[in-house]
Structure 1
Amino acid sequence: MGGLIQILSESLINQIAAGEVVERPASVVKELLENSVDAGAFDIQVDIHQAGKTSIRVADNGRGMNKDDLLLAIERHATSKIREYADLMALKSMGFRGEALPSIAAVSRMSIISIPSGEGSGHRLEIWGGKKIGLEEVAGTSGTTVEVLDLFYNTPARMAFLKSPRVEWNQIQTALERVALGFPLLRFELSHNGKKVLQLFPAQDLNLRLQDLWGPERIKELIPVDLAEDRIRIYGFISPPHHHQNSSRNIAFIINQRWVRSPLLYPLILRAYAGMIPSGRFPTAVLWMEVPSELIDVNIHPFKQEVRFSQTAWIQTLVGKAIGRSLKSHVPKPGRMEKEFFSQDWTTPPSQPFLFKESDIPQFLATSTPIEGPATLDFGSGEEVFSQDQTTPLTIDEMEEEGEKVGRGGGFSGLTLLGQIHGTYLVALTTSGLVLIDQHAAHERILYERYLKQWQTGGVSSQYLIIPILVELPPGWVVDIESIQPEIGALGFEITPAGRNSFWIKSIPAGMNSGQGEETLKEILEAMKAGNRLSTPEDFQQSLIKLLACHSAIRAGQVLNPEEWKALLIQLDQTESPSHCPHGRPLWFLISWEEIEKRFKRK
């Protein structure tokens, strides 16, 4: 009587292996494209019928194979890519397992035509369900053409798992896009049901490859990223914080020309945009990385789309640094003002600026008054640049002279400030147009980063109140002062019991007035009572720091004087993320000259 354990047939082994490598038509396209790339092709054509269910054809002008290599290529674990373990640890190719062609052949009717470089003829091999059907000599030009018909014809259970033609077609497009991102110097052509859908020409500029794939509108505001340290280079593009979408499909990492999924790198993108974009929204980020091959391991998944780094902390630091630098650089750029946007009609006497009557002077041209009351700004001293008479219009020559002067300043502090409107927004001039800055959001960003640094290094600076504030809690509230004091103490508050359902506030964060301190502490206690704990204690604490910054910041409608405008922008330049407030709202935007001209029907 025979034993229970038996060796599986070769055809069944291949079908099992195919289950790991060939998941859907897009998997076939990916594997064949990678083979074409490894063969040195610079022109690759992909023809699809019925979303890949009936026909997939990939033709290239690569090196091609002779008869012996062609017959070996469909054997499992036969490859030209590696010879020994050292090659596996220093991969230069996209493929290396020797599994793709036999796995595809096991679940389809496949034919391969391959003609070696410099030859006028080659061979055509046909395989059905993993079995060789025929081999014949053919004439043609060098390269390889693989045609896959009736995918999963012999594994109907796998066929049943395929999605709709639309979904499968989208997956095929995505597979080609990922390879095309890794190899911008190659030409790709994609057709579906006989109709040419996509044609990508070789692109020296990565921006052009993205434009061909995504269109000019989606990439026109992308911010460049470029960092090189030691033997690692990180470059590419990320979106400004005000551009975000509801899915993460536009986040891509291409490491040594290979598109990869990375549980290590993906969170770095989201962390970099934390507080800049709303919750549940995602930025666009396409980052190419050049990493020494001995520092990464690709051999951890059959799809070869995951990598492992031997120097994890180092890679994380460099990627975070590259993204952070680029985001911080996304501020309005000062420079010389362009004459064509001004006319001599603007240089009227100061008594009637812009031809308005004195009573009709727009607020941003009027002289501002200092803020009053306890919530005064403490921006610190800085070089006095603006004086009261600078809120009147300048002549053309004065404008150019002023532009040259501020052009030597930083991003925001180097702008030419025109004034404040609606007691809420600062208006500034750049060569690109007019910039509007939300003073509350800007100050909130400044204070958030200041409080966060203080909290991370021992606690938010506090100030003792000369007269403590008595706070009475609503009936039913129970506050265990002893247990919460360490947490709120780190935020700059000190409280002591004052009897049943009440307590004294003895100190508040530095820079707040007593009213702001009381209001903020009540909101913090409400958050604690409601149990609004986020994913980690640190996240929750940071949400409380956002409350501090929001309540401490200058308010909308609060009139500032020119010295305070300038001090605000100087400090904004010193922040890590000067584009959005901590809650994700934009703190500035640009009205371009082009848009202004369109409004006036000049274009």
Structure 2
Amino acid sequence: MTEASGKSSNRPWIRPLPERLINKIAAGEVVERPASVVKELVENSLDAGANRIEIIIEKSGAKLLKIVDNGCGFAEDQIEVAFSRHATSKISEFKDLDCITSYGFRGEALPSIASVSRLRMVSRPADADNGPEIIIEGGVLQSRQPIAAPPGTSIEIADIFYNTPARRKFLKAETTEARHISRVAMAMAMARFDVGFTYHLNGRKVFATPSNQELGERVATLLAPGKQFVEISGEVGPLKVHGFVGMPDMVQTNRTGQYIFINGRWIQSPVLSHAFVAGYGELLPKGNFPIGALLLTIDLDQVDINVHPAKTEVRLSRERDIHDTLRRLVWDALRKKGLAPVLTVPSHGAKAGKTDFAQQNPQQSIRIPGITQAPTPNTELLGNLYNPARPATSADSPETVRVDTSTGEIISDIEMSSPPGALTAETQFSLIGRFAGLYLLLQSGDELLIVDQHAAHERILYEEILRYVDRQSGVAQQLLFPVQVELNPEQMGLFEEAGSLLNASGFVAEHFGGNTVRIEAVPSVLARKAPEKTLLAIIDDIVSLRESGHDLKKAVAQSVACRSAVMSGDWLTDEEARALMTNLMKCENPLSCPHGRPTLIRMARSDLDKQFGRI
């Protein structure tokens, strides 16, 4: 008997969890970061029938999030009930889950948020003389009293995660959290373009939109002020689409400019995002993504939104059909706009990306930023193109060539000769030719070197820009007239985060009110580029690189270097080509570009002889 009692005492005991602990566990799914709180509270305001919503953020949400609306408000006897778990006015029985038209319905948001913050809410219905004020800290009611207030609801969330240090520790930098909040604010404003939104971030008004605005005007205001968008409109089967998408030249290197909504709800769907991009066909360069907002209306019985507490994931019963229909509607709208792909043939006076044309026009060389100070014309038609004692012969290999970026050697299944010596700044090179307007052919002793001129120049500029940033001494080219560029809120958040590094690299750019940035100078290596387009492209690059794990300084340097480097088809004089190779060999890592691609490959004479069966 005693032995049995001892065994039972060690048995795990099942018991209900306390309400406060339940709410904290739920908060882990509902409240991922400050942006999640903004989304949940704005959705509550919309469900309350508000047509004016104000979002106020301090210290990117870590200090304060405040949402003010003019909705129906809470009755005095309902305000405490609202903070009970799974208490909601949206549904009442099982069948309601099949026809959800509201944003919220789970009854988890308010108790979850209150359990990990200091919350104060004041709410007054329009037909009441005053409204109740309720204060909750860490899920515990602190006070409740009537207070004078305007109609509607005001809710303040202070010190989020103050009682869960582990969660607070994993919040990202203020500027990162601010970007997430800005993206949510923009999404909610586009989902309900009939509602007026005002968004303040860290004491600055980011945007203010009027009530009953047209969708196209709302999208343009938030995504690309002053730009032209293409309207998408159509109805096929259970799907109705209305939206506006950017022209093919309004692209980003990431998907953050894509907003997709189903029945007014902002959702994340890889399938629908793919349809959005696929609708452009071959109008987009590889690795670029369009911007825009697509509002999809789908029969309620075709959509399941009860997938995750965050309510950003959905299941569609006819996902493939919806994908194909959306892709076709986007493509048809672009085609009607006259944006079909066009093959353009360079005129006689234009620069073609072909080696033979460039060889016939050696004077039309370009200046290489960071390598040459001015163009050096070559007065001899073929000059010293072929200098070596004996010419080398090359042939296309039928096999895939792999390159070791730490040595520059070709990795092949064929037995190679002894490893070639290391390339250094003292290695002697002879330029023997060019191929496809991109590759430089050089000889060093018994080796043939094939150099990617873009990758090589990118490596040189990347290391140079990193040094400039470390020394805060970027070389700037002053613009004759300052340029102003309008950013969307998310881009503005990134500019504020990366502004000091951009200026250290050679930009002179500063906030100029609202979401406008004033550019007074650009890095000298970018002097030939349009400053406003370049800044926007660099910001988009940085977003993609940060998502890939790059730190901010290297992301800035990598983007500026890539945008500045010579491109395929840019003709280099012999002197410029040799200078490029000399500077490359002085780099800390000369054998790969910042993206990890090889800058050159090496082929020994003996390896060529083996390929041709000579030995």
| Alignment TM-score, normalising by the size of structure 1 | 0.54
Q: What displacement does 1:204 show?
A: 3.4
Q: What displacement does 1:314 show?
A: 2.6
The answer as to 2:232 corresponding to 1:307 is no
Where does residue 142 of structure 1 map in the other structure? 151
Aligned ranges for residues 84-103 of structure 1 at < 5 Å?
84-103=93-112
Further displaced range: 82-91 or 16-25: 82-91
Among candidates 18, 24, 28, match of residue 9 of structure 1? 18
Q: What displacement does 1:269 show?
A: 2.3
Assess if the C-alpha contact under 8 Å between 1:244 and 1:283 holds in 2: yes
Q: What displacement does 1:116 show?
A: 1.5
Residue-by-residue CA offset, 1:278-307 (whole Å, 9 max, x unaligned): 221111232111112121111111110111
In 2, Cα distance between equivalents of 1:141 and 1:330: 48
In 2, Cα distance between equivalents of 1:476 and 1:174: 49
Q: What displacement does 1:424 show?
A: 10
Among candidates 184, 188, 193, match of residue 175 of structure 1? 184
Among candidates 417, 422, 426, match of residue 347 of structure 2? 422
Among candidates 248, 261, 267, match of residue 254 of structure 1? 261
In 2, Cα distance between equivalents of 1:320 and 1:263: 13
Where does residue 200 of structure 2 map in the other structure? 191
Q: Flag the structure with larger Rg.
A: 1
Residue-by-residue CA offset, 1:132-178 (whole Å, 9 max, x unaligned): 11110112222111111111110000000001111111111111111
Where does residue 57 of structure 2 map in the other structure? 48
The answer as to 2:283 corresponding to 1:276 is yes
Aligned ranges for residues 458-537 of structure 1 at < 5 Å?
none
The answer as to 2:61 corresponding to 1:61 is no
Assess if the C-alpha contact under 8 Å between 2:280 and 2:330 holds in 1: no
Where does residue 127 of structure 2 map in the other structure? 118
In 2, Cα distance between equivalents of 1:81 and 1:265: 28
Change over 3 Å in CA distance of 1:43–1:285 after alignment to 2: closer
Change over 3 Å in CA distance of 1:332–1:135 after alignment to 2: closer
Assess if the C-alpha contact under 8 Å between 2:219 and 2:244 holds in 1: no
Q: Which stretches of structure 1, 4 residues or longer, exceed 4 Å deviation after superposition? A: 473-478
Assess if the C-alpha contact under 8 Å between 2:193 and 2:218 holds in 1: yes
Assess if the C-alpha contact under 8 Å between 1:119 and 1:141 holds in 2: no
The answer as to 2:161 corresponding to 1:152 is yes
Residue-by-residue CA offset, 1:357-383 (whole Å, 9 max, x unaligned): xxxxxxxxxxxxxxxxxxxxxxxxxxx
Q: What displacement does 1:50 show?
A: 1.1
Residue-by-residue CA offset, 1:501-539 (whole Å, 9 max, x unaligned): xxxxxxxxxxxxxxxxxxxxxxxxxxxxxxxxxxxxxxx
Change over 3 Å in CA distance of 1:224–1:107 after alignment to 2: same
Assess if the C-alpha contact under 8 Å between 1:43 and 1:188 holds in 2: yes
Query: Could you say what secondary structure the match of 2:271 adopts?
Result: coil
Query: Could you say what secondary structure the match of 1:69 adopts?
Result: coil
Where does residue 294 of structure 1 map in the other structure? 301
State the AA in 2 paired with 1:50. Answer: K
Query: Could you say what secondary structure the match of 1:286 adopts?
Result: strand
Assess if the C-alpha contact under 8 Å between 1:190 and 1:199 holds in 2: yes
State the AA in 1 paired with 2:234. Answer: L
Assess if the C-alpha contact under 8 Å between 1:113 and 1:123 holds in 2: yes
Q: Structure 1: any 5+ residue segments left out of the alignment?
A: 334-410, 413-419, 426-472, 479-603
Change over 3 Å in CA distance of 1:154–1:476 after alignment to 2: closer
Change over 3 Å in CA distance of 1:299–1:424 after alignment to 2: farther
Where does residue 401 of structure 1 map in the other structure? none
Where does residue 244 of structure 1 map in the other structure? 251
Where does residue 25 of structure 1 map in the other structure? 34
Change over 3 Å in CA distance of 1:205–1:119 after alignment to 2: same
Change over 3 Å in CA distance of 1:331–1:65 after alignment to 2: same
State the AA in 1 paired with 2:186. Answer: E
Further displaced range: 1-10 or 117-126: 1-10
Assess if the C-alpha contact under 8 Å between 2:279 and 2:326 holds in 1: no
In 1, Cα distance between equivalents of 2:245 and 2:298: 20
Q: What displacement does 1:193 show?
A: 3.6
Change over 3 Å in CA distance of 1:424–1:87 after alignment to 2: farther
In 2, Cα distance between equivalents of 1:146 and 1:41: 14
Further displaced range: 59-68 or 273-282: 273-282
In 2, Cα distance between equivalents of 1:55 and 1:170: 16
Residue-by-residue CA offset, 1:368-406 (whole Å, 9 max, x unaligned): xxxxxxxxxxxxxxxxxxxxxxxxxxxxxxxxxxxxxxx
Query: Could you say what secondary structure the match of 1:237 adopts?
Result: strand
Q: What displacement does 1:274 show?
A: 4.0
Residue-by-residue CA offset, 1:464-513 (whole Å, 9 max, x unaligned): xxxxxxxxx979869xxxxxxxxxxxxxxxxxxxxxxxxxxxxxxxxxxx
Give aligned pairs, total: 347
Change over 3 Å in CA distance of 1:477–1:210 after alignment to 2: closer
Where does residue 333 of structure 2 map in the other structure? 326
In 2, Cα distance between equivalents of 1:174 and 1:476: 49
Among candidates 200, 216, 219, match of residue 207 of structure 1? 216
In 2, Cα distance between equivalents of 1:315 and 1:183: 22
In 1, Cα distance between equivalents of 2:118 and 2:100: 31
In 2, Cα distance between equivalents of 1:475 and 1:45: 64
Q: What displacement does 1:423 show?
A: 6.6
Q: What displacement does 1:238 show?
A: 2.1
The answer as to 2:241 corresponding to 1:316 is no
In 1, Cα distance between equivalents of 2:238 and 2:186: 27
State the AA in 2 paired with 1:150. Answer: D
Query: Could you say what secondary structure the match of 1:178 adopts?
Result: helix
Where does residue 354 of structure 2 map in the other structure? none
Residue-by-residue CA offset, 1:401-456 (whole Å, 9 max, x unaligned): xxxxxxxxxx99xxxxxxx993799xxxxxxxxxxxxxxxxxxxxxxxxxxxxxxx
Change over 3 Å in CA distance of 1:249–1:477 after alignment to 2: closer
State the AA in 1 paired with 2:136. Answer: I
Residue-by-residue CA offset, 1:113-146 (whole Å, 9 max, x unaligned): 1111211212111111001111101122221111
The answer as to 2:175 corresponding to 1:166 is yes
| Alignment TM-score, normalising by the size of structure 2 | 0.53
